[in-house]
Chains A and B, each alone.
Chain A
């Protein structure tokens, strides 16, 4: 089917065409300038990070062969042909994985309790005084910006080697991260119940307990489960600095080139992280319906 498309008179068309070309030109110039700045930044970064493509390509084979080596047992056979030999230390590793999960559990819960106590002071609509809100918010910001492993490094010196330092580091970090998320939930609540409770002459604590907490409990629980998931990953490397868990074994295996141990421990960590992800996803789905899973 042929349809005649009515064309504009050429004078009008030329004006439109010019405007179009000018707009495209501006866009292209902006794009080129932005790419040039980005490329310059990358070049400076590459020099700063001592990137050496020659080393990279010389040793790239090593990266592939590293995976080949960690999947080979000492007698030269593939790891999966002799699972008993591959997972020779499974009792010890499972115990350490249990410790890792326990570290993140205790750290997350303790952090959640503290964040729960603090977040009402940091939320705009419930905070009793502006100076208190400011202080608590800055404190939380500090807690979540300093990486948990840096806290672990310091705590290992103060509390001695062992899982306690790991728990405290995860706790501090969780206070900062959860406190922010919690107070954001509190800022989005319906204030009418709070006014209702306050009009009966209730104290600040009762207002929080009977008007705010019922509205926010589900959201809090959902974020806490998510945080637990993140903290399991975090706890798996706490052992790198001596703060307990499976990380200690892993770092020893990597540094001392116990190749098949590396793959065994990595596999166990990845599987644990999967199981925890799926488990907390399932619990969140059960508790709060399907949309809370995202």
Chain B
């Protein structure tokens, strides 16, 4: 590769000064950001008690645990695990359905094209945001205090945290709906409720159905873990077996969860395609 002759280089340099001499702030920004991020990372490692000795000992231990997990073996508790898995799937299905049913009317209140006044909309939106800011596990703990230990608390926990998420998603779906059909209903003398029922709902329902199915899928994952705090399902078995160090049962339970999640994924993607067509799956 040959360089340009020096006078030509000088001419280019004077003609395009901004290409050759980038300001110091632009040149230093990336290294400064990287070293800042690295400094926080190192501080974090120190502050969180990371030490090579602990890491080595831990990985050694982890290696042993992995060895003991093979082969996965449910022992004699396979029927109990299958029941627990059924419970988990029930929790996901019921919790999502209840959350969606309750969220639908509330999401109308949070949509700009239904409630134009910001004074009403704002508190509804913040309310939904704060429900979403609290993790499902925390809701499970709260519901355990209210209805006692067991899967029912799990259903309610999933329902509440989905209510927050659905309220936001549904109201966004409603806001992007086409205005013309609503105007058509109004022009033919329909009331406000008619506008929602015949103008909005036919547009919005397929989108909502897709989202609900997707959530049933992702809640199967959440429902596996709320058992850890005592809200029923397969998580309860898993946490127990980990505590008593029955590693073969642990690995069997993890495998069961993986298979169940994959099966639900498959079913729900088939259903989604059937409801809203292949292209609309976001």
Contacts and interface: CB of A to CB of B under 8 A. Distances in A.
Interface in B129-165: 129-130, 133-135, 137-138, 141-143, 145-148, 150-152, 154-156
A99 B47 contact: yes
Interface in A221-257: 233-234, 236-237, 240-241, 244, 250-251, 254-255, 257
Interface stretch (B3-11, B174-182, B185-193, B220-228): B220-228
B18 interface: no
Interface string B44-59: 1101111000110111
A266 B129 contact: no
A219 interface: no
Interface string A158-198: 11101110010000000000000000000000000000000
B50 A49 contact: no
Interface residues of A, number: 58
B133 A66 contact: no
A20 B221 CA distance: 43
Interface stretch (B70-78, B102-110, B111-119, B253-261): B253-261
B130 A270 contact: yes
A66 B134 contact: no
B228 A102 contact: no
Contact of A59 (B41, B146, B229): B146
Interface in A86-130: 99, 102-103, 105-106, 109-110
A52 B61 CA distance: 44
B280 interface: no
Given A49-B91, A146-B258, A153-B242, A42 B65 contact: no
Q: Tell me if A's interface is mostly helix, strand, loop or mixed.
A: helix
Given A106-B48, A158-B58, A146 B146 contact: no
Contacts of B86: 48
A241 B62 CA distance: 17
A11 interface: no
B133 A153 contact: no
A66 B146 CA distance: 8
A99 B49 CA distance: 11
Contact of A49 (B129, B134, B154): B154
Contacts of A240: 137, 141, 228-229
Nearest to A233: B135
A86 B258 CA distance: 43
A109 B225 contact: no
A237 B258 contact: no
A41 interface: yes
A45 B89 contact: yes
A147 B221 contact: yes
Interface string B207-232: 00000000000000110110011001
A159 B40 CA distance: 23
B44 A102 contact: yes
Given A106-B48, A164-B58, A237-B138, A56 B147 contact: yes
Contacts of B228: 149-150, 153, 240-241
B236 interface: no
B50 A164 contact: yes
B48 A102 contact: yes
A251 B61 CA distance: 28
Interface in B16-52: 37, 40-41, 43-45, 47-50
B124 interface: no
A109 B48 CA distance: 15
Given A48-B87, A49-B91, A274-B129, 6 more contacts: A49-B154, A102-B47, A106-B48, A162-B49, A164-B48, A164-B49
10 contacts: A49-B154, A51-B94, A63-B146, A106-B48, A145-B221, A146-B254, A147-B222, A164-B54, A236-B135, A254-B138
